[in-house]
Structure 1
């Protein structure tokens, strides 16, 4: 591959020499891989019917890669022409119903790609799992070992686009070729949910390209197990060398300082040299301000971010010729473009009240550098509380505030769980379904910890059906007065309301097979209205009464063949509703 770091529009995007705060959408080409088989094609569009096993459908020519193995064209793995060491990777992919694939880092370590749609307790061989290693010499039943199941099932339905993000540290070797550090998975995020974290890999997983480990290797996508489509693949090498601090000296000023101008005319009561910031100790038993000066050694030019925090105190950073303007509490963040070489740096650490905890926290990162901890305060300064996760056996339905993407909150809301591992939230004041998700239920830490703020947050793979905190009632201009709800059974709730024209019942049932939910609306009186189902930009009919809302990541199935979904001017998928309406959302 010939890469142009300043232009993104090719296959495996090497983000080098430029600073990007977010991933860029990147197409993939078969020319980015060695000798792709005829089962792989470049198409304009791909879709699936989740009821049909091992089937993907395509149309046109374009930049979406699809693997459609058959007897005439058996599947074969894609192996990139480029090799990589440490990296971050983002893959947008689609699985057919019942299909199986895998992403091999360096061709050696497999992250499983699988249709795990309705699994409640996923295993290492499920979507987002780290596949097991294999040893034929072991006894039967023990040949596979050191596989890691995802923490929860954050998968989507077959035929929906999914996103896999991986942080990978390659194994390290001495000059003589001896391995001195194992490979490590820093994180795996599946559809925005962290399902693996800080996993050390003792060796290659089953089906690796080679039995020995290497410092650099290709990206490999399994193609011999079933259909898969790939919309984008982005790779960011994490090979920026970490900066270091040198020539450190400190001066300690006695007294309580809330402003840097108060230092004028003051004489330090303590001075000394430091080998590292972790040696910082004021030597005084009262309030003080410590000024640490030195140089930061930059090996590779880039846009660096320093994050500083002073426990129970104030801090400031200055780099180069710039002066620190003020002392701040909380997180102090400085971003600066630094050339390779040595740059003056100064830290101010003020303890105007509590002087017992010595030192401060300092972290540095860059686009191609994972966060590096340069300093840690002495003692245990951990203030985070243990998370409070809602037990669905004890609390299957929870009233709480809900944070919305538009930054507003819904105060009259209820979230409903099911034993099938799927859940929804409902706005009681408007009669709208707000969101659905798969995986674990709710994190109630913001709600129940300390005084709390009333908010609970979904723990799984979240899809918003409505992103605004100021939506109109489901009945539009017709009046809407909520009258409570009834819990009917597992994942089944009937919501009650009155309108200007009569009574309204809204029954929502999470499906026992874990595929989605069915909603039935009934009302007395009134003319036909349009019910907003979800936000979406396009509707594609897959089969009779069955539609794919691609950008929303959902399927819509309508109960009445005569009822057709349409898009309104507000970017919503709507259905006509007179006296009764039933539809199903699959996710």
Structure 2
């Protein structure tokens, strides 16, 4: 179903994808395992860095100066500054990896270009793609193209993968990347049996790739286009200024446990913890190659008792998550309950060897399709699943796009703890959107990418909630934008007592953009928020009639607020920029508020500023 109107566009489409990463045959494994955060006090984790690479304590960038990073002395940040004085070269890790999870923060200078090469061969592009509406494989987060010089012009690049949407932030802001990479597989003779994969990649909290098969190395790979079971992590260093911190690696180089010798017995009746199944008469018995809820002849109100062996190759702490769809399940290892019946998961410290396993599945009735399976993860082992196929949620998602300026009222959850019940979300064709809290006169979030998913709001009975669909910038727990302070050190009030706050809705301009109106402290307020044409940010103009002499606006809060270029502030550990445009001569104040910082300013009638991220 597709429904279009002036202020909304609804589409219903099925999206569902399941990829279960099975255990492949790995003949060659890394010679040594390194998991954890790469120390950035020096270059001991890397091979022969060129002079363009530095270790710094802090770094920043200007939106106006291309390919420049400003650095401060210290440690903890890896910086590349190629230029005339120091020709940039790629940086290679000492460790070599196969299957790996990589998580890091990075910062691009304006107009800069870099990349992460898994095993030195498969590049995930890093680029200043701020404001790009339709990203390509060469944009930030893209899987770069393979290359063949023998092909005609325009066809040399092939098999590149663009990110699902542009989740990039502005130059000079920290961006967060998470990638799960699966190395190619080889048999005993060295023949490749399975291509490498990007199992999942997230940029700034948004999934940009899922289960992408890499048919071969991308352009510029090491080894002349060959493929290996292992290779170094490589950071491109010859194109532009870039910085990295919090580089965390998890290697998965240990053989997976095997669940073998599975024998089942099936019994009538619901699960009862007080009943000893071994003393009961079984309706059927047999053996299976893998777990299933459908062994035996019964279809409802039955119990399956499995006994078998878990072959553990590496001692350590293991995590187990059960799929007991249509009932419940329990797991015992070495006669100890690891996952109690009806719970989702548990952990156990296991020794290496053949360990006895007991698994019970209890079918509760006839609701839902019966399914049984278990996900296992452990030291050096990426989680894997064995058992019945997981049935994906087949709910047809309800998506709202913003091909024109679009407004939707709903509930909106902010973080994990707060629900805004009078939220107005405003979408734009520039792919930059925001949510306004009518109860506080506050912008509670700004995001870039797709607009809204409203499945929770409109599917079946619904709960009234919509979800932002792109990379989000939250602005803290909802608070009143305007407040009265007897002194600049008074705490910002969190409730409406004494404010006489009354929302007055909004009016639309000729482009269907809202200007919000409300009353507070006896004054009338108009609050006009506009998205910039380049999609880089929003501008906000607050106009107050006859403001009280002690009226202030709270512009931002965060763990850090740094003073940037003229009238610019960098907020919350370089998460976004706030640019003061016109305050009628009033001076902003950065102050302490518990363990956080606040940026406040006296209001003299009109106040305007922009937010860029």
Give TM-score scaled by structure 1 length.
Answer: 0.90
Name the CA distance, whole Å, in 1 between partners of 2:383 and 2:582.
54
Asked if residue 170 in structure 1 is aligned to residue 191 in structure 2, the reply is: no
**Helix, strand or coil at the partner of 2:44:** helix
Which residue among 376, 389, 406 is the counterpart of 1:396?
406
Name the CA distance, whole Å, in 2 between partners of 1:355 and 1:521.
55
Name the CA distance, whole Å, in 1 between partners of 2:540 and 2:97.
48
* 2:358 corresponds to: 346
Asked if residue 292 in structure 1 is aligned to residue 306 in structure 2, the reply is: yes
Name the CA distance, whole Å, in 1 between partners of 2:508 and 2:447.
19
* 1:283 corresponds to: 297
Alignment of 1:513-532 (within 5 A): 513-525=534-546, 526-532=548-554
Alignment of 1:152-551 (within 5 A): 152-210=165-223, 211-255=225-269, 257-263=270-276, 266-278=280-292, 280-323=294-337, 327-328=341-342, 332-354=344-366, 357-366=369-378, 368-376=380-388, 381-393=391-403, 396-405=406-415, 407-466=417-476, 468=477, 471-472=479-480, 474-475=482-483, 476=493, 478-488=499-509, 492-525=513-546, 526-551=548-573
Name the CA distance, whole Å, in 1 between partners of 2:293 and 2:459.
35
Give the Å deviation of 1:321.
2.1
1:467-500, Cα deviation, whole Å (9 max, x unpaired):
x25x346335532110101233658321100123
Which residue among 70, 74, 77 is the counterpart of 2:87?
74
Name the CA distance, whole Å, in 1 between partners of 2:405 and 2:274.
55
Give the Å deviation of 1:178.
1.3
Aligned partners of 2:442 and 2:481 also within 8 Å: yes
**Helix, strand or coil at the partner of 1:559:** strand
Indicate how the Cα distance of structure 1 residues 236 and 381 shifts in structure 2: closer, same or farther if over 3 A, else same: closer
Of 169-178 and 275-284, deviating more is 275-284
Name the CA distance, whole Å, in 1 between partners of 2:178 and 2:300.
47
1:223-277, Cα deviation, whole Å (9 max, x unpaired):
111111112322110223211112211111123x142224565321212222322
Name the CA distance, whole Å, in 2 between partners of 1:291 and 1:355.
20
Aligned partners of 1:274 and 1:280 also within 8 Å: no
Name the CA distance, whole Å, in 2 between partners of 1:162 and 1:324.
38
1:11-46, Cα deviation, whole Å (9 max, x unpaired):
xx9655xxxxxx769536323222211111122221
Give the Å deviation of 1:408.
2.4
Give the Å deviation of 1:564.
2.5
Name the CA distance, whole Å, in 1 between partners of 2:605 and 2:89.
54
Of 491-500 and 158-167, deviating more is 491-500
Give the Å deviation of 1:501.
2.1
Give the Å deviation of 1:534.
2.4
Indicate how the Cα distance of structure 1 residues 25 and 529 shifts in structure 2: closer, same or farther if over 3 A, else same: farther
* 1:579 corresponds to: 605
Give the Å deviation of 1:118.
0.5
In structure 1, runs of 5+ residues without a counterpart are: 1-12, 17-22
Name the CA distance, whole Å, in 2 between partners of 1:118 and 1:88.
28
Indicate how the Cα distance of structure 1 residues 580 and 327 shifts in structure 2: closer, same or farther if over 3 A, else same: same
In structure 2, runs of 5+ residues without a counterpart are: 1-31, 484-492
Name the CA distance, whole Å, in 1 between partners of 2:221 and 2:318.
36
Which residue among 72, 75, 95 is the counterpart of 1:62?
75
Give the Å deviation of 1:334.
2.3
Indicate how the Cα distance of structure 1 residues 232 and 284 shifts in structure 2: closer, same or farther if over 3 A, else same: closer
Asked if residue 33 in structure 1 is aligned to residue 33 in structure 2, the reply is: no
* 1:553 corresponds to: 575
Name the CA distance, whole Å, in 1 between partners of 2:46 and 2:337.
50
Name the CA distance, whole Å, in 1 between partners of 2:510 and 2:93.
51
Give the Å deviation of 1:436.
0.9
Name the CA distance, whole Å, in 1 between partners of 2:169 and 2:457.
28
1:565-587, Cα deviation, whole Å (9 max, x unpaired):
42342532223223111011110
